[in-house]
Amino acid sequence: HTLSHTQSFFRCITLYTYITFQWDGANMAYTTGIAVSLAVFTWFYTSLAGLPASITTDKFQGVLMFLLVFIVLIAACAKPENRITKEEFAVASNWTTDGLTAAVTLFIAILSAEMFNQGTWQRVWAAESVPAMRKGFLWGSFLVFLLMMFFGIMGMISYANDPLAFDTFQKFYYLAFFELLRPLANFWHVVVLIVVTALAASSVDSLQTAIAAIFSSDFVRLSGQKGGSGQDWKIRLITRILLVLINIPAVIMSSKRYDVISLFLVADLVCATAVLPVYLGLMTKDWGFIAAPTELGALLGMIGGIATVLVIGALYNFNEAVNPITGETIATGPFSYFWLTNSYQCALCGIETMITFIVTPLMGGFFCLFFSKLDVMIRGERARQPIFKFGENDVAGQYILDAEDTSESSSDSIKHEVNEDSAVPDVSVENVSDTAEGAAVSAGKDDFEDEEAAY
């Protein structure tokens, strides 16, 4: 849960940082006004409506995204200022080693982070059915792929127009497609600003509801109460206050003008230290010599992942992270390597960064299995019992040490009852043992009638 909060927090900072770049037609004005408005407005309507409001804005986000694509496409094709030659595009789109390392790094980084994205897990557990979920993810992935291809090509066209400005940080890579809009009239600049702000709001409200779901599910377990009890109003109040406290430093940090990609990578690297220790927990039975991970083993595996990052930083003699845009020192000391300022060309570039993202999750998984085996050898069956309990209902029972008992053990660990009036699974609070299922407490009721009880 701590990792989920960290990932959501840094994504909030990233979105606020991105949206505070406003183009006034000649210069990049920098303000936190929009970020403050965005934080307050999304907090307000997600506090009232919760996950259903976030899902509704996601639908509008899809429509607005195609509007943005249309505007950028017209600007790129119709304006003579954006025309480039075949040779210029070849320079911008040529195959490079930096591009390969960045692609490998990006794939591992996003995979690690998205496994902890509670906005995604909420939608998994709020899906109408498993086939509907699979269909949604399939079409969503396909459309996202097309969008990424489109904006990638637009970015290359923008770079081909003025490569020197991008290489010397007079223009920013992650704002490249905005440069294509420069020749348009101010009216279109206003339209794009509104659209981009709305897109950011849709993403922020997903993070807001995700953080609320994590907090609320933990408070429900700590209180020992079921959703719908008389203590719900206290949980909702505490959760909303915590959301405000999280948004304040996120908005403040966005004014520091950190590189957007670097902000993503910090959260991604933190998640990479724990992605295998956490998800190896899906192993419910021993595989020969390999023991099913224990809670202590998973915890030590995460610590091992963090230690791996520190060791890699020490091997590279890295002791200071410097903002490549402003030249300011971001952090010093061994933990400064988490900022991964290995390359001045881009945050994703550099062999060192790629190696870090390859080695870190693998070592985290190795330490998890290694310490889990030692834990079982030393403590025996006591190693299977929870160490950290968030409520009286946290019990063991997830391990399937005998293959013949698979079906029985699985049915005892998590019980799902399907309501006759709805295809949405009804998940009881006392059987919820992880964050994703905690989100289902709010999303799994008929027509979201009990959503307020969980939030």
Model pLDDT, residue 14 = 59
Task: Show the tokens assigned to 218.
Answer: 């933990």
Model pLDDT, residue 22 = 46
Q: With CA atoms as reference, report the closest residue to 429 among 195, 226, 200, 209.
A: 226
How is 301-343 classified by DSSP, letter by letter? HHHHHHHHHHHHHHHTT--EEE-TTT--EEEESGGGGGG----
Which spans in 224-294 are helix H?
A: 232-254, 260-272, 275-279
The arithmetic mean of pLDDT across residues 246-275, rounded, is: 81
Q: What is the pLDDT of residues 413-441, one digit of tens each?
A: 433 433 433 333 343 333 333 443 343 33
- Residue 385's pLDDT band (boundaries 50, 70, 90)? confident
Model pLDDT, residue 428 = 37
The arithmetic mean of pLDDT across residues 235-253, rounded, is: 84
Task: Show the tokens assigned to 34.
Answer: 């929009």
pTM of the model: 0.76
Q: How far is CA 445 from CA 125, 419, 429, in A?
A: 11, 9, 12
- For the ranges 9-13, 234-238, 278-282, which has the lowest average pLDDT? 9-13
Task: Show the tokens assigned to 260.
Answer: 């957007």
- Residue 199's pLDDT band (boundaries 50, 70, 90)? confident
Residue 52 has pLDDT above 70, yes or no: yes
Q: Which of 30-34, 80-84, 413-417 shows the highest mean pLDDT? A: 80-84
For 394, residues 6+ apart whose C-beta sits below 8 A from its C-beta are 221, 386, 433
Q: 247 or 275: which carries more pLDDT confidence?
A: 275
The arithmetic mean of pLDDT across residues 232-236, rounded, is: 80
Task: Show the tokens assigned to 211.
Answer: 């953080």
Q: How far is CA 281 from CA 113, 284, 301, in A?
A: 17, 7, 12
Task: Show the tokens assigned to 59.
Answer: 């639908």
Distance CA 203, CA 198 (A): 9
Q: Check: CB of residue 254 under 8 Å from CB of residue 20.
A: yes
Q: What is the pLDDT of residues 349-379, one digit of tens each?
A: 889 999 999 999 999 999 999 999 999 999 9
The arithmetic mean of pLDDT across residues 18-40, rounded, is: 60
Model pLDDT, residue 408 = 43
Q: What is the pLDDT of residues 405-417, one digit of tens each?
A: 444 444 444 334 3
Model pLDDT, residue 189 = 85
How is 157-169 classified by DSSP, letter by letter? HHHHH-HHHHHTT
Give the phi and the psi of residue 322 in degrees, each rounded to 5: -120, 130
Model pLDDT, residue 24 = 42
H/E element holding 111? helix 97-114
Residue 203 has pLDDT above 80, yes or no: yes
Distance CA 402, CA 412 (A): 14
Q: How far is CA 77 from CA 68, 88, 184, 195, 423, in A?
A: 14, 16, 12, 20, 47
Amino acid at 49: A
Model pLDDT, residue 369 = 96
Q: What is the mean pLDDT of the chain?
A: 78
- For the ranges 144-153, 323-332, 401-410, which has the lowest average pLDDT? 401-410
- Residue 46's pLDDT band (boundaries 50, 70, 90)? confident
Model pLDDT, residue 206 = 86
Q: 316 or 170: which carries more pLDDT confidence?
A: 316
Enter the DSSP assignment of 27: S
Q: How far is CA 272 from CA 115, 190, 241, 294, in A?
A: 10, 39, 29, 19
Residue 169 has pLDDT above 80, yes or no: no
Q: Check: CB of residue 216 under 8 Å from CB of residue 231.
A: no
End-to-end alpha carbon distance in the chain = 16
Q: With CA atoms as reference, report the closest residue to 409 among 401, 417, 418, 400.
A: 400
Model pLDDT, residue 307 = 97
Which spans in 79-96 are helix H?
A: 86-92
Residue 389 has pLDDT above 60, yes or no: yes
Model pLDDT, residue 129 = 92
